[in-house]
């Protein structure tokens, strides 16, 4: 600084918005250059020429003024400290657990893992897919089932998906679903929500007599919790036989830690087994995120929802992982899809699998045995104090005690002494122990239950007084599990650290290069946004702790909802849905419930343009709404004439239309307001898929221009990292008259409500601080600047690539929204090159491919986001141009159509070092097509993966070691 420069004022120094320029990758000079390439005079002029005047926001968002990273963290810490950390004995599906430090730091807090995308591009995702195959193997082994997916959103939604899987798969034609009443209440609630709109009758059975009567009747499946919610473990073998005699399915909700010691349901002939892996290292986090699982019998595998990682081979014949069967299944089968699950819980699944790798079978059994032994000790001590447990002779980790009318006073005493017990039902209190339980905890519980002056038992005496667990001998597990070497090798911390590093080194995530995935918005996940999620005040909180202990979360929920209302223009928001797909489902439930309340239950048609994301029709199907597809015109816009005709044709029965805005074609359609008015005039509601909100925040609000419902994807627009395929958060946002129909716990069966859509009231609560931090640090102007920078960057890429790859759809003035579809379709004829070949060749250049063949086959959809620097945008553009030159070599015949760097991409180091190199291009041209790669090179660990082979030879467990030989 020269001495003549004016010194900034104190206020200017204090109010500097430090975070915005960290989040947005381009500065004023970059912007000026980019605008000159696009041919616009200013950013304002660019935005005005893109966003239709008719939808522009009436006023700026009303958000608190932005603060620095340090100030936001301090404010959030104060908010977090309003959550009270009591010792949790609540159980009910959520337990204390110790995440091994090596996993905490090197996975949960490591951007190499949390910033990765869903593994659709197999070659750059081998590390996380190996971890997911470990997850699947772990679930198969512990449940004794032949096949398991990776992963489900939570135990309750997994149970609901099991219900619909059974409905599709069994011979029974009944519409009745039976649930044992001793199942976690949140699971029953979510199942009731899911069953109602598709005409399934749920029978919750509360006594042995009712159970016998139910099994004697007609039903298509029965769900049993094992160990039960009250802790009871019983032998269900003959029940499974009775269920099978009715051509119905036996479904178990279970606990993997318990199964290290208990007979697994697969050995009884279970058809479907679901559960949560939370207690394998993921903090309770007020309910999420955690990975749930689903395992099923082999015959059901082609209709298993969620993602399945399979083993295939690459072009060199080496084993390689890739997503099997269900890859983008909703995109292909749409309203016939088995489920709408898109974003799942990959990061929590990776953590659970690593917990098993770290502890191994012996270590897991040791943890389980300690829990079981403490439970036995606790139970005997309580009996000495005069409290006998229900089913005290048969439990793993939970005691359910009759309190003789003292439930409330004992629970209150517990809170006063720093512990939460579960008020189960009637006069019963439940106490669950877990990995974190200590002797002091057991003594604390005795103190809580002891009457004044009563002598307390001792751990030693109670231990000596009986068996080492309360597991019935007949239910003791005899079969082995986790015998694969991966679970028996990495038990030293050094070994574990290197295994985790070895896997993440195989993958390409945002910590290495841009991930320009259209529709997925892979933007910065700032470290300051991530730090709070592992604070104990957010992480170690039980979702069903008394509300007055969850004030921090309540306030976070309230503030974030208010801010999202500002961003969207809606009147009400629920943060409960665990992903965008679940937000869609919740939003459609709201529309359906609204129509029913108006006496219009017959309104059951949903119009969906052909360009829609596959989750849209899949979600409509889940709520029993019939999908009618409407056409797009030659410019990719909704064909208004066709929409009008279909509105008229279905006027009486029109429930809603689902559009995406700006469209999945990357264009701001100018007639969106008219579209909304048209649908409203026919009595329908408008669902605006909010996945593209990164083009709207601060610029236009769906709730203002005619939308009635939207979901947001906080893992796209609001900075929650993709985690390699989850966790996500998919808030559902609605206009005022739909607010009563937002999801809520404790409302099941009440008319005029929709019930719960996730196991926990706040869904994936523990990642909400990320979006809170983002909004708090950006403020209204910063968020608007981010939107505008995202639009600017997309237009810059489109403009610079126009002579190489034309942009397929644009508005009349040639501009796009926040993403652009590069049209590669003509290359097939001139060179035989497909978009997929370009996607794979980009790996050699060190990039993750853009979105491939969605929404238009054989195109690439590029979304740079606001977070990329001009340097990185240019690096990507130059790679794409260089690849176009390579394609020209094929077009001119210099390289054959079937043997060139594109068709053979990605090139592994091993293939390039082969003694007999006989390609028509040099090794250097394959490996280092641009000079910068010589000093910074990502090497793909496998060659191109064979998808067809993998589906024909479906194999979804750890690869036998012999196959590596
Ligand atoms: C990502 C996306 C969805 C699905 O959201 P998930 O969070 O993955 O469940 C729906 N619609 C569009 C347009 C999307 O891009």
Q: Does the pLDDT of residue 123 top 80, yes or no?
A: yes
Beta bridge partners of residue 319, listed in sequence order: 313
Query: What is the best residue among 327, 331, 519, 580 to mutate for testing ligand 1's pocket, by most ligand atoms within 8 Å of CB?
Result: 580
Using the mean position of ligand 1's atoms as its centre, give its distance from the Cα of residue 654 in Å: 24
Is residue 107 assigned to a domain? no
DSSP at 628: E
The pLDDT tens digits for 620-632 are 999 999 999 999 9
Is residue 768 assigned to a domain? yes
Using the mean position of ligand 1's atoms as its centre, give its distance from the Cα of residue 301 in Å: 24
CA 840/CA 832 separation, integer angstroms: 15
Average pLDDT, stretch 425-440? 96
Mean pLDDT estimate for the chain: 95
pTM here is: 0.97
Q: Does the pLDDT of residue 151 top 80, yes or no?
A: yes
Q: How many CB atoms lie within 10 A of CB 210?
A: 15
CA 156/CA 153 separation, integer angstroms: 8
In this prediction, residue 671 carries a pLDDT of: 94
Is residue 710 assigned to a domain? yes
Q: Tell me which residue has its CA closest to atom 14 in ligand 1.
A: 691
Q: Tell me which residue has its CA closest to atom 2 in ligand 1.
A: 691
Is residue 675 assigned to a domain? yes
Using the mean position of ligand 1's atoms as its centre, give its distance from the Cα of residue 512 in Å: 24
Using the mean position of ligand 1's atoms as its centre, give its distance from the Cα of residue 140 in Å: 29
Q: In the block, which residue shows the tokens 């949903």?
A: 606
Which CA distances in Å does 482 have to 263, 356, 961? Answer: 15, 8, 14
Contact 711, 731 (CB under 8 A): yes
Question: Two tokens at 359?
Answer: 């502890």
Cα–chain-centroid distance for residue 784? 26
Q: Tell me which residue has its CA closest to atom 6 in ligand 1.
A: 580
Which CA distances in Å does 846 have to 331, 522, 551, 649, 803? Answer: 27, 16, 46, 51, 23
Is residue 691 assigned to a domain? yes
Is residue 394 assigned to a domain? no
Q: Does the pLDDT of residue 2 top 60, yes or no?
A: no
CA 482/CA 141 separation, integer angstroms: 6
The pLDDT tens digits for 452-488 are 999 999 999 999 999 999 999 999 999 999 999 999 9
637 Rama class: left (phi>0) / alpha (psi -120 to 50) / beta: beta
The pLDDT tens digits for 816-827 are 999 999 999 999
Is residue 692 assigned to a domain? yes
Q: Tell me which residue has its CA closest to atom 5 in ligand 1.
A: 580
pLDDT-derived band at 334 (thresholds 50, 70, 90) equals confident
The CATH number linked to 576 is 3.40.640.10
343 lines ligand 1 (CB under 6 A): yes
Q: Does the pLDDT of residue 302 top 70, yes or no?
A: yes
pLDDT-derived band at 1 (thresholds 50, 70, 90) equals very low
Query: What is the best residue among 519, 576, 615, 819 to mutate for testing ligand 1's pocket, by most ligand atoms within 8 Å of CB?
Result: 615
Reference 805, options 768, 831, 844, 771; nearest CA is: 831
Task: Give the angle 338-342-345 at the CA atoms, nearest 5°.
Answer: 115
State which residues form the domain around 603.
532-776
Concatenate the DSSP letters of all residues of 192-260 into one string.
HHHHGGGTPEEEEE-SHHHHHHHHHS--SEEEEEES-TTSB----HHHHHHHHHTT-EEEEEEEHHHHT
DSSP at 700: B
In this prediction, residue 333 carries a pLDDT of: 78
728 lines ligand 1 (CB under 6 A): yes
579 lines ligand 1 (CB under 6 A): yes
Using the mean position of ligand 1's atoms as its centre, give its distance from the Cα of residue 573 in Å: 18
Contact 204, 188 (CB under 8 A): yes
Q: Tell me which residue has its CA closest to atom 8 in ligand 1.
A: 343
Average pLDDT, stretch 295-300? 96
Q: In the block, which residue shows the tokens 């044709």?
A: 649
The pLDDT tens digits for 343-368 are 999 999 999 999 999 999 999 999 99
Contact 616, 689 (CB under 8 A): yes
Q: Does the pLDDT of residue 229 top 90, yes or no?
A: yes
Is residue 600 assigned to a domain? yes
CA 400/CA 355 separation, integer angstroms: 29
Q: How many domains does the chain have?
A: 1
């Amino acid at each position: 600084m020269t001495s003549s420069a004016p010194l900034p004022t104190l206020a200017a120094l204090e109010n500097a918005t430090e975070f915005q320029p960290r989040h947005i990758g381009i500065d004023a000079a970059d912007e000026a250059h980019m605008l000159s390439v696009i041919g616009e005079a200013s950013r304002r002029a660019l935005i005005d020429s893109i966003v239709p005047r008719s939808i522009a926001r009436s006023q700026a968002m009303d958000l608190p003024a932005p603060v620095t990273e340090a100030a936001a963290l301090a404010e959030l810490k104060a908010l977090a400290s309003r959550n009270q950390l009591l010792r949790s004995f609540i159980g009910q599906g959520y337990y204390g657990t110790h995440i091994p430090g090596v996993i905490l730091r090197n996975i949960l807090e490591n951007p190499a893992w949390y910033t990765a995308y869903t593994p659709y591009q197999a070659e750059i995702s081998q590390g996380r897919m190996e971890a997911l195959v470990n997850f699947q193997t772990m679930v198969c082994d512990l449940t004794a089932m032949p096949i398991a997916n990776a992963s489900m959103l939570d135990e309750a939604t997994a149970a609901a998906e099991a219900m619909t899987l059974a409905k599709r798969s069994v011979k029974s034609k009944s519409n009745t679903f039976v649930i044992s009443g001793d199942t976690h209440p949140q699971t029953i609630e979510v199942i009731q929500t899911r069953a109602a709109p598709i005409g399934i009758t749920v029978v919750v059975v509360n006594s042995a007599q009712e159970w016998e009567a139910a099994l004697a009747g007609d039903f298509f499946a029965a769900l049993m919790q094992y160990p039960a919610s009250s802790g009871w473990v019983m032998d269900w073998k003959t029940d499974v036989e009775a269920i099978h005699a009715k051509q119905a399915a036996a479904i178990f909700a279970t606990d993997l830690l318990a199964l290290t010691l208990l007979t697994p349901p697969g050995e009884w002939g279970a058809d479907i087994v679901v559960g949560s892996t939370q207690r394998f290292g993921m903090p309770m986090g007020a309910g999420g995120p955690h990975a749930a699982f689903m395992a099923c019998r082999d015959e059901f595998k082609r209709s298993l929802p969620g993602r399945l990682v399979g083993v295939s081979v690459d072009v060199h014949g080496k084993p390689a992982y890739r997503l099997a069967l269900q890859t983008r299944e909703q995109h292909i089968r749409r309203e016939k899809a088995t489920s709408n699950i898109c974003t799942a819980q990959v990061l929590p699944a990776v953590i659970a699998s690593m917990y098993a790798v770290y502890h191994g079978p012996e270590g897991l059994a040791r943890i389980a045995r300690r829990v079981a032994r403490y439970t036995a000790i606790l139970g005997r001590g309580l009996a000495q104090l005069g409290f006998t447990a229900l089913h005290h002779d048969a439990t793993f980790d939970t005691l359910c005690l009759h309190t003789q009318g003292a439930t409330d006073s004992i629970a209150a005493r517990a809170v006063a002494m720093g512990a939460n017990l579960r008020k189960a039902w009637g006069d019963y209190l439940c106490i669950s122990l877990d990995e974190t339980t200590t002797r002091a905890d057991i003594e604390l519980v005795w103190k809580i239950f002891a009457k004044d002056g009563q002598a307390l038992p001792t751990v030693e005496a109670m231990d000596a007084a009986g068996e080492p667990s309360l597991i019935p001998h007949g239910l003791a597990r005899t079969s082995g599990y986790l015998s694969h070497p991966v679970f028996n090798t990495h038990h030293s911390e050094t070994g574990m650290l290197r295994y985790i590093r070895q896997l993440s080194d195989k993958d390409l995530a945002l910590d290495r290069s841009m991930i320009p995935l259209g529709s997925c918005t892979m933007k910065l996940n700032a470290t300051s946004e991530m730090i709070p999620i592992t604070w104990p005040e957010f992480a170690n909180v039980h979702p069903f702790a008394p509300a007055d202990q969850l004030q921090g979360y309540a306030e976070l929920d309230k503030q974030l909802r208010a801010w999202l209302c500002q961003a969207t223009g809606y009147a009400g928001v629920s943060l409960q849905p665990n992903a965008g797909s679940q937000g869609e489902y919740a939003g459609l439930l709201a529309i359906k419930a609204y129509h029913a309340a108006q006496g219009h239950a017959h309104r059951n048609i949903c119009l969906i343009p052909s360009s829609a994301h596959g989750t849209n029709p899949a979600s409509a199907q889940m709520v029993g709404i019939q999908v009618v597809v409407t056409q797009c015109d030659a410019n990719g816009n909704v064909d208004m004439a066709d929409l009008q005709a279909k509105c008229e044709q279905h006027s009486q029965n029109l429930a809603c239309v689902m559009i995406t805005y700006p469209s999945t074609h990357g264009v701001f359609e100018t007639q969106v307001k008219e579209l909304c008015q048209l649908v409203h005039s026919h009595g329908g509601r408008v669902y605006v898929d909010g996945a593209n909100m990164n083009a709207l925040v601060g610029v236009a609000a769906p709730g203002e221009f005619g939308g009635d419902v939207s979901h947001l994807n906080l893992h796209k627009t609001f900075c929650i990292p993709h985690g390699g395929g989850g966790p996500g958060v998919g808030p559902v946002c609605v206009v005022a008259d739909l607010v009563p129909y937002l999801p809520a716990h404790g409302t099941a069966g009440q008319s005029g409500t929709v019930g719960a859509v996730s196991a926990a009231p706040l869904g994936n609560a523990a990642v909400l601080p990320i979006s809170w931090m983002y909004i708090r640090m950006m403020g209204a102007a910063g968020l608007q600047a981010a939107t505008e920078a995202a639009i600017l960057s997309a237009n810059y890429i489109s403009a610079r690539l126009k002579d190489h790859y034309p942009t397929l759809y644009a508005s009349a003035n040639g501009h796009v929204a926040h993403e652009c579809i590069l049209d590669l379709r003509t290359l097939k004829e001139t060179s035989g090159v497909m978009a997929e070949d370009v996607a794979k060749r980009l790996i050699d250049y060190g990039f993750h491919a853009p979105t491939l063949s969605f929404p238009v086959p054989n195109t690439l959809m590029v979304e740079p986001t606001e977070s990329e620097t001009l340097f990185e945008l240019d690096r990507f553009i130059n790679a794409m141009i260089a690849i176009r030159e390579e394609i020209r070599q094929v077009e001119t015949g210099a390289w054959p159509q079937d043997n060139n760097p594109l068709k053979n991409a990605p090139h592994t180091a091993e293939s390039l070092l082969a003694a007999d190199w006989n390609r028509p291009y040099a090794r250097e041209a394959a490996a280092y097509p641009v000079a910068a790669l010589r000093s910074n090179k990502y090497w793909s660990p496998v060659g191109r993966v064979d998808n067809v082979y993998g589906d024909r030879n479906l194999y979804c467990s750890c690869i036998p070691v012999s196959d590596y030989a």
